[in-house]
Structures are given as C-alpha cells and as structure tokens.
A and B are shown apart, each in its own frame.
Chain A
Amino acid sequence: MNERQQVVYATVQASLKRRYARERRFRTLGLSAIILGLSFVLLLFADIISKGYSAFVQTHITLPVYFDPQVIDPSGQRDPAKLARANYRKLVRAPLRALFPEVQSRREKRQLYRLLSTGAAYQVQAMVLADPGLIGQTRQLALLADDDVDMINKGHIDQASVEERFGTAYWGWLQQLKQQDRLHTRWNSGFFTSGDSREPELAGIGGAMTGSLYTLLVTLLLSCPIGIAAAIYLEEFAPRNRFTDLIEVNINNLAAVPSIVFGLLGLAIFINLFGLPRSAPLVGGLVLTLMTLPTVIIASRAALQAVPPSIREAALGIGASHMQTVFHHVLPLALPGMLTGTIIGMAQALGETAPLLMIGMVAFIVDVPNSPLDPSSALPVQVYLWADSPERAFVERTSAAIMVLLAFLISMNACAVALRRRFERRW
C-alpha cells in the first residue's frame, strides 16, 4: 500500500464504528416504532375481545313448559291465526310461579316474570306454530333470559350491586335456578340473525350486517366499473391538457374531503332532490360510492402506470390499435392492482359511519332489510348506536359487533394483500 491508500484505509476503519452505530440506532428506532404501534393494536384488540367475547353466548333458563290447550287454543280448531294470537306469556310464566310458590305480591311477581326475556314467549309461539302437535304436552325448554340475568350469570354484576338494585329475593331466585341447574349459556345465534332491539338480549347485528352488505353491494357495483373506466380513460385516452389536470386535482381533492360532507351531499341530492327513501342502503351505497371512487380511481391509475411501457410498445409495434393494446395487454396486467384498490376502498366504505348518519341510516330499525330500498342500519352505525345505550348488556354487544366488523375488515384487507402477492410482477 502506498501512503495515500494507507490514509484512506485508516480513515475508513475509523469511521466504521460510527457508521455501524448510526445504523443500529436507526434500526432500534424503527423497531420501537413498530413495537409501539403493534402494542396499541394489541391493546385495542385485547380490550375489545375481553369485553365482547361473552356476547357470543347467551344465558337461557331451562323450564318445564306446559303447552296448555286452555291458553293456546280453547276452541280446539288449531286455526293458525288464532294460535299466533294466543297468550304465550302466560305459558312461560306458569313454570316460574310453580318454582317459586313463595312469591305472592304483585310487585314481586312482576319482578319474577322479568327473569325471562320478552323473547321467551315468542320462542314458544314459534314452536307451536311450527308444530301444533305440541299442544297439551310438557317440554323442558331453554328460554331466553333477561339481559340482567345474563349479565349476572356472566359475572358482570356482583352480588352487592344486584341486591341493592333488584332486592335480596332476586339474587336468591337466581341462586336457586343455578342450584337446580336451570341456568345455561348457549351459542347466541340470534346475535347474528336478529335486527336491533330495545332489549339487549334480543338485539343482534343481523339487520346491520344485511344493511352493510346491501350498501357495499351497491358501492361495489357502482364504484368498481365507474372507477376503473374513469381510470382507464384518464390514463390511456384522455388528452393531457388544463381540463384533465383540473380533473386530476379534483379527484385527489375528493379523496381528502371529510366523509360527513358526502353525507350532506347525499341527503341534499339523493333524498331531497331525487326522492330516494331515507335510511335505505341504496342511498348509503350511492354516498359511499362518491367516497370510494377517488380511492379506486387513484389505485387503478397507479396500476395502469405500473405496466411497463415495453408491453405497450410491443403491442403497438405489431399493429394493435390503441384500444386493443389497452384491453388485451395493459388491462389484464393492471387488473390485480385495480382489484386490490377496489377492495381497500370497500374496506374503507365498510367502516364509514359519518355519511350514513346524515342520510338516516342511524334510525332504530328492528326488521332485517329485505332489499336495498328497505330502511336499515349498518355495522359501524350499529356500534355507534349501542355504544350510546346505557344497559350493561349493550357494552358487550358493542364490542362483539366491533369484533365482527374487524373480522370483515381484516379478511378484506388480507384478500387485497393476497391478491397483490399472487399477481405481483408477472413480466
């Protein structure tokens, strides 16, 4: 080594330590940022899951129900219309009275009956309507318990508070039921199939899920073709001039507009001007389309830009027309990217709440919608509604609904990632 080379070597050696230290610092910083982020996510998930998991089971009280012909069908004609109108509450109350003969006062009786949900009577009614042959028989039935019973059974309310709020007798009844092995938790299928209700034990996300599904369907059917077509036109066919620049700026702007503004727009245009029904998933879908369009367009344009120019040149070079080049070669290569963008847009739309509040999808709606024109709610709005309810039982339902929402979001985003992985760079 000559002198100069020795100096260089020594300097390089001397600086190495500093360089590596800097690299280590940067790595630690990055790692701690990730750990911080992950721990917040974990915290959120732990909180939601710990609060919400118990909503997936529901407390039932097993009671011997006598399908009393005197109550259900005194005339014995088995007329379905009459069967439907019978007083089933009486049937489910009878075994309770028999179990606790010491309860005499009206006030206490009323409290005793409230161990059961109002849904219990409907349970029995449905059984009778399905099979009138049950009339005259006695069956051990697991009847839906009231939400307070459910909460106490799940240990969310302790003895002291129960005795303070409901009296000592109430606690005693529950203990007795427990000793007789009449208190059970069962898989809460109603949570996924029923609509909203004032009674927490009857409330479910079925209506909200269906509403969200219809809303997303409308959004997908509109934003996917419109967005992709707009992207193809802007990227491949539109002349580059002031006007298209203006469009481009506005599309980017649109992506940044607060979603509530879209809600106001939807209210003014779709409902007030066009007279579309309030609270309908159709309107929700239209509003969310406005919101997701920029996302879809921007992602689709990026996907089109990512197609290497050599492919276009190859096609043009053998005499494919512009249209053929785009549709035979560019589009197939860009499609996975476009779909990824669409799915991410859909996931955003699924979680969007504010614009739906503006168009009335926040109303209390018991029935599960049958079409995009029926009034309905949506999953995130349902979360918002339940989070506002005072009953303790709605707390766990809120968390459970969030879990379902998150499950949908995660699987949609996973789909997008899988799609991207699968079709990444085929050329």
Chain B
Amino acid sequence: MSEMQSASGDAPLFDQSFQTTGQIHVDCPRMTASRVDVYYGDKQAIYDVSLDIARNEVIAMIGPSGCGKSTFLRCLNRMNDTIAGCRVSGTIKLDQQDIYDKRLDVVPLRARVGMVFQKPNPFPKSIYDNVAYGPRIHGLARKGDELDEVVETSLRRAGLWVEVKDRLTSPGTGLSGGQQQRLCIARTIAVSPEVILMDEPCSALDPIATARVEELLVELQKNYTIAVVTHSMQQAARISQRTAYFHLGRLVEVGETTQIFTNPQHKLTEDYITGRFG
C-alpha cells in the first residue's frame, strides 16, 4: 500500500499485515461487517474494515476528516448505492443476512436500518406529514387514528412533541435547526428501524440542542442499535459504549469507549485523542 503514507514521513503508515487493534467482534451482533472495501471509481476509500455492532449499543465512529467514517456508515444501509461509481466489496450482515445479496431489496433494508444526516433535511411538508411519511409508504398505519398515534409517539420519543403539538400542520422547514434535526430523528424512528445510523447529527446544532439530541440518543438506546459518526470526542465519551477510530480508510482501533479514551492501544488513536493529530 505505497499510496497510503503518513502526512509527515515517507514510511508507509499501514503495511500489508495491518490489523485492527481491539475487539472487533461481539457476542450477539446486530450487524457485522467483514473485510469491507469501498471504492469511489478508482479511488479506494475504505480498506478491509471488519466490525461488529452489538444489539442496543451506541457505537461512536471517530477519526480525522476524510478518513471514511461517512462512507462506512452509508454502507450499512446501502445509501452508497445512490452514488455513481461507488463500489463495495466484502460482506455486511444484518441479523445474519447479507445486505449486499443480489436478491435483497434495499427498500425494506432501509426501513430496518434508518439514517439521520448531518444537515437536518426535513421534507418541505408539514411536521405531521414528515413523520407520517415513512409509516404511510410502508403501510404501517393505515387508519387516521393509528397514524396520529405513531406520529405522536415518534415525536414524543424524539423529544419534540411538546414544542410542536400545536402546529403539526405548519411546515417542517420552519422549525429551528435543532428542532429540525429532532424532527428528522422522529421521522426515522416512526418506521421503527432496528438500527439507526447517524452521520454527525449535531454538527449543525448549538450546545443546547446538541445536549437534547444526546439525551435522546441515550433514551433511544433502550430500543435501538445506534451508530453515530461524530467529531466531538466528548460527545463520543458521553453517549457511546464502544468507539471505533478510523484513519485514512482503515479501522485502526475499536474498544470500550472508556478504554479508548483513557488507555488507547494504538499510537494513531492516542495521537488523535490527545490532540496531536486531526
């Protein structure tokens, strides 16, 4: 891997024998990725990443900009399919089922593995319709009352109900940034996914809104498996049980969050969390 070189010297940062430090496997995984490579055209963005995601855990993914966190996350519900020229190899399983299987339909997959994006992206429709959209297209709630109930529970779970219950018909785009992000979370959990992928969900939010979303994640963890990409190490420390450190397309180290932050095993991880890199 001669093209992968450290920023400072000429010595290759990763050689052929590179292995992820720490426990990549868990006892009872919800999702397992093994030997995943991702290419954008000719350019490889992810190198040989294997990682398990346990049930009802929050796993944080950290690493310097451009290291492939978003790319890896988007593999987990095949959002990468929408990018022309993006190619994924290796296997990713959800409950023992290969999600890159040719016969697998991505629509139910994405209903099971939902995604919240970095920038809040509510539909330019009413708050109610934003949340109701998923249940409607999947036929989860047909009758009006049933749908009302799903919308209310989802908004309550997302901690937004009190703020919006009197204006469910006003446009979702009219909310504040933090409210919009919680609306997007409500929209995602309205279809009761098993896994929620979040790509820097708080990067557009102020500290108060961030705190609310973080509380929400801790709350949601009881029912969902959550994978969060974040640039804030404090945030990773507050909300996650496990942390995965990515560097230049490799999964360098993964382990208990407390261990990663207090006693990192790999030099690169240590450099990153002590602020010497990234």
Contacts and interface: CB of A to CB of B under 8 A. Distances in A.
Contact of A317 (B77, B84, B137): B77
Contacts of B108: 319
21 contacts: A310-B119, A311-B123, A311-B124, A312-B82, A313-B117, A314-B184, A315-B123, A316-B82, A317-B77, A317-B117, A317-B188, A318-B133, A318-B188, A318-B190, A318-B191, A319-B109, A319-B110, A320-B134, A328-B133, A329-B123, A426-B124
A324 B107 CA distance: 11
A333 interface: yes
A255 B188 CA distance: 44
Chain B interface bracket (under 10, 10 to 19, 20 to 34, 35 or more): 20 to 34
B111 A318 contact: yes
A317 B110 contact: yes
Nearest to B187: A318
Interface string B98-138: 00000000011111001111010111100000000110011
B4 interface: no
Interface string A231-243: 0000000001000
Contacts of A316: 79, 82, 110
Given A313-B79, A324-B137, A426-B173, A318 B117 contact: no
Contacts of A240: 84
Given A317-B117, A321-B137, 7 more contacts: A310-B117, A318-B190, A319-B134, A324-B137, A333-B124, A426-B173, A427-B124
A427 B123 CA distance: 8
Contacts, number: 68
A311 B188 CA distance: 14
Nearest to A313: B117
Contacts of A328: 133, 137
A311 B121 contact: yes
B61 to A, nearest CB: 17
Contacts of A311: 121, 123-124
A109 B115 CA distance: 93
Chain A interface bracket (under 10, 10 to 19, 20 to 34, 35 or more): 20 to 34
Contacts of A314: 117, 121-123, 184, 187
Contacts of A319: 107-111, 114, 134, 137-138, 191
Instruction: In the A-B complex, list the 9 residue pairs whose CB atoms are closest, starting with the nearest.
Output: A319-B111, A310-B121, A317-B115, A319-B110, A318-B134, A314-B121, A426-B124, A427-B124, A321-B107
Interface in A310-342: 310-321, 324, 328-329, 333
Interface in A291-324: 308, 310-321, 324
A110 B117 CA distance: 89
A308 B134 CA distance: 20
A316 B188 CA distance: 11
Query: Interface centre among B77, B107, B121, by most A CB within 10 Å?
Result: B121
A427 B114 CA distance: 22
A12 B22 CA distance: 58
Nearest to B136: A328
Contacts of A313: 79, 82, 115, 117, 121
A317 B79 contact: yes
A197 B203 CA distance: 73
Contacts of B109: 319
A426 B124 CA distance: 7
A319 B105 CA distance: 10
A314 B130 CA distance: 10
Interface string B57-94: 00000000000000000000101001010000000000
A243 to B, nearest CB: 16
Contacts of A329: 123
A426 B122 CA distance: 12
A424 to B, nearest CB: 12
Interface in A61-89: none
Interface string A77-114: 00000000000000000000000000000000000000
Contacts of A312: 82
Contacts of A321: 107, 137
Contacts of B133: 315, 318, 320, 328
A316 B107 CA distance: 8
A284 to B, nearest CB: 39
Contacts of B121: 308, 310-311, 313-314
